[in-house]
Amino acid sequence: MRIVIVDDDETLGKLIEKSLSSDFDVRYFNDPQDALKNIMAVGADVVISDIKMPKMTGVELLKAVKSESPDTYFILITGFGTVKESVDAVKAGAHDYLLKPVDIDMLYKKLMDIRKLIERREARIDSETPVYNSTVFGEILSLAERVAKTDTNVLITGETGCGKEVLARYIHTKSERSKAPFVPFNCGNFQDHLFESELFGYRKGAFTGADSHKRGIAAAAGTGTLFLDEIGEMPLTVQPKLLRFIETKTYYPVGSTEPVTSRSRFVAATNKSLEKEVKEGNFRQDLYFRLNVLNIHIPPLRERKDDIIPLADHFINKFSHLNANVLRLSDCAMKKLMAYNFPGNVRELANIIERGMILEKDKVLTDKSILIMDDSQSAEDIVNLDELIINHMQKIIDRAGGNKKKAASMLGIDVSTIYRKLKITD
Ligand SMILES: Nc1ncnc2c1ncn2[C@@H]1O[C@H](COP(=O)(O)OP(=O)(O)OP(=O)(O)O)[C@@H](O)[C@H]1O
Ligand SMILES: [Mg+2]
């Protein structure tokens, strides 16, 4: 992040420059016109400028810079008695203002917030790239990048919500097919002839209702990537059709005798263990071998905890339209997320942050707005368990003809337990 400081008071300007120089790329000017020239030439992410200066005021500088570079943030410094002026400056487009004497810690905090805003802007531009920090996910991405250059069939496995589709798209993006489409096909959604007509398309008159030709998903994928999602949910009856397609790379649209050759690449994904499905007779072994030329397994989020905070930050940016004030997690919120085991993986984390952004009233996302399943579920479980015990006791008491002592011996508990429990409900 490049920062330009402009102040005719050299002592103050240099002091700010010195205190920020270890964390940022900073340049100080005492003449606003020199500063303007420099900003126009090399740009600046943030300008920290005094308001009252000879030759050119801070507000004039702001207007000149913003006309060329509207994304540059301005923090204006103002002396006592010119608060109105600084409020006007904010109206003119300054991001913030600081009162003299300048509180360096406060300035530093504001700059860190701006850094977040810039990251947020960049994240929006680059939203397709997987977010991670763990070594294991880094290794997965580099394997994915290598395999992207080949035409090998890939099987991505991992629990629900752990990023299988994100990885499939990444493989596509890094491949030479990236200009061609990435087309997901949910294999679990279709039975028999619907499966064929969806995947392979059909010719006019192939069946009642087929009153025109229809292109299938396979044709739509063209020379791109065909993403066979939820492959483990695929009905056994249609598996031979997919196998034939993958093996021969040709298919027949329903109602056609002309084979069509496909030049797509296959990437499949499942949250099931296909080996187990094969053993249990739910999945054809030959199809499994065809798909699983290379397996990339994504471990659950709880086994790559280093990804939790960067992903949470990413979702804070993603959901910033819900609450523009929140820029980061509080320390307690981080601890709470790090302690959680995320059965729903990254998708669950995204949902938690989305909900948190709606609830949060503070400027940081606090642990109070991080509602995790453990909290709500455990409260529910206690109620349910108590209800369950009481219902069961009552059933046994009925069976014992209303005799609580007999019911207690049938249950193998002391009769006082029955009285105690039932009193709770009374
Ligand atoms: N590394 C990541 N970086 C950014 N976003 C991610 C990452 N991993 C997952 N997500 C997000 O989490 C959500 C779930 O990811 P995805 O749909 O890829 O999971 P999945 O493994 O295909 O889940 P399912 O088994 O339920 O189909 C999506 O909103 C996705 O954008
Ligand atoms: Mg998926």
Tens digits of residue pLDDT in 122-136: 665 555 689 999 999
pLDDT at 388: 72
Q: What pLDDT is attached to residue 406?
A: 85
pLDDT band at 277 (very low <50, low <70, confident <90, very high): very high
296 lines ligand 1 (CB under 6 A): no
pLDDT of residue 193: 75
Average of pLDDT values for 50-70?
Answer: 90
Q: Ligand 1: does its nearest atom lie under 6 Å from the Cβ of 254? A: no
165-218 per-position pLDDT tens digit:
999 999 999 999 998 889 999 988 887 778 889 999 998 888 888 888 888 999
Closest CA to ligand 1's atom 12: 347
pLDDT at 324: 87
Tell the residue nearest (CA) to atom 16 of ligand 1: 163
Q: How far is the CA of 125 from the centre of ligand 1 (A)?
A: 18
pLDDT of residue 99: 86
| Residue 161 CB–ligand 1 contact under 6 Å | yes
Pocket test for ligand 1, best of 347, 351, 354 (most atoms within 8 A of CB): 347
Mean pLDDT on 258-262: 92
The answer, yes or no, to whether residue 87 has pLDDT greater than 80, is no
Segment 15-34 shows an average pLDDT of 95
Is 164 touching ligand 1 by the criterion CB < 6 Å? yes
Which of 319-325's residues contact partners 24+ apart within 8 Å by CB, and which partners?
319/353, 319/354, 319/357, 320/120, 320/357, 322/354, 322/357, 322/358, 323/357, 323/358, 323/360, 325/360, 325/362, 325/363
Q: Which residue has the higher pLDDT, 376 or 363?
A: 363
Q: Which residue has the tokens 């900003």?
A: 39
pLDDT at 86 exceeding the cut of 90:
no
CA 270 to ligand 2 center in whole angstroms: 8
Higher pLDDT, 408 or 387: 408
Confidence of residue 376 (pLDDT cuts 50, 70, 90): very low
- As a whole number, mean pLDDT of residues 82-108 equals 83
**Lowest mean pLDDT across 10-24, 193-207, 281-295:** 193-207
Q: Which atom of ligand 1 is nearest to the CA of 346?
A: 12
Kindly state if the Cβ of 131 falls inside 6 Å of ligand 1: yes
Question: Taking residues 324-341, what's their average pLDDT?
Answer: 94
Ligand 1 atom at minimum distance from 159 CA:
25
Which of 165, 170, 309 gets mutated to test ligand 1 (max ligand atoms within 8 A of its CB)? 165
Q: pLDDT-based confidence at 378, cuts 50/70/90?
A: very low
- In tens, the pLDDT along 385-407 reads 667 778 788 888 888 888 888 88
Sheet holding 154-157, edge to edge: 182-186, 225-229, 265-270, 154-157, 294-297
Question: 268 CB less than 6 Å from ligand 1?
Answer: no
* Choice from 140, 154, 166, 167 to test ligand 1 binding pocket (greatest atom count within 8 A of CB): 166
- Is 80 exceeded by the pLDDT of residue 83? no
- Report which ligand 1 atom has the smallest distance to the Cα of 161: 23
Query: What pLDDT is stored for residue 400 in this prediction?
Result: 84
For residues 74-100, give the mean pLDDT.
Answer: 80
Residue 379's pLDDT band (cuts 50, 70, 90): very low
How large is the average pLDDT for residues 265-271? Answer: 96
Nearest residue by C-alpha to atom 15 in ligand 1: 163
Q: What is residue 307's DSSP assignment?
A: G
CA pair distance 147, 378, nearest whole angstrom: 43
Answer yes or no: is pLDDT of 367 > 80: yes
Q: What is the pLDDT of residue 201?
A: 92
From the CB of 271, is ligand 1 less than 6 Å away?
yes
Mean pLDDT in residue range 206-234: 89
Distance 121 CA to ligand 2 centre (A): 26
In this structure, of 32-46, 258-272, 367-381, the range with the lowest mean pLDDT score is 367-381
DSSP secondary structure string for all residues of 196-264: HHHHHEE-TTSSTT--S-EE-HHHHHTTSEEEEETGGG--GGGHHHHHHHHHHSEE--BT--S-EE--P
Atom nearest to 314 CA in ligand 1: 4
Query: Quick one: average pLDDT of 219-227?
Result: 93
Whole-number pLDDT of residue 211: 82
Mean pLDDT across the chain:
89
Q: Counting ligands in written order, which one lies closest to the CA of residue 161? A: 1
Spacing, Cα 280 to ligand 2 middle (Å): 23
Q: Which atom of ligand 1 is nearest to the CA of 162?
A: 21
